[in-house]
Amino acid sequence: MQLRGAQPVSAPRELPVRGALKATGWLREEIPASRLDRYLTQQLHRVPGFDAVDVSAGYRLSVPDTRGCNWSGNVVLLHGSRAPRRELTAAALRPIVRAARARFNMSE
Q: Are 57 and 99 in contact (CB under 8 A)?
A: no
Is residue 3 within 8 A of residue 78, CB to CB? The reply is no
Q: Is the pTM of this model over 0.75?
A: no
Backbone angles phi, psi at 69, to 5 degrees: -85, 140
Task: Report the share of the chain in percent with pLDDT over 70.
Answer: 76
Given this model, what pLDDT does residue 26 score? Answer: 61
Is 30 strand, coil or helix? strand
Label residue 4 by pLDDT band (50, 70, 90): low
**Which of left, alpha, beta for 73 (phi over 0: left; psi -120 to 50: alpha)?**
left
- What's the confidence (pLDDT) of residue 5? 54
pLDDT of residue 35: 96
Alpha carbon of residue 20 to chain centroid = 24
Q: What are 55-73's pLDDT values in tens digits? A: 999 899 999 999 999 999 9
* Average pLDDT of the chain, as a whole number: 81
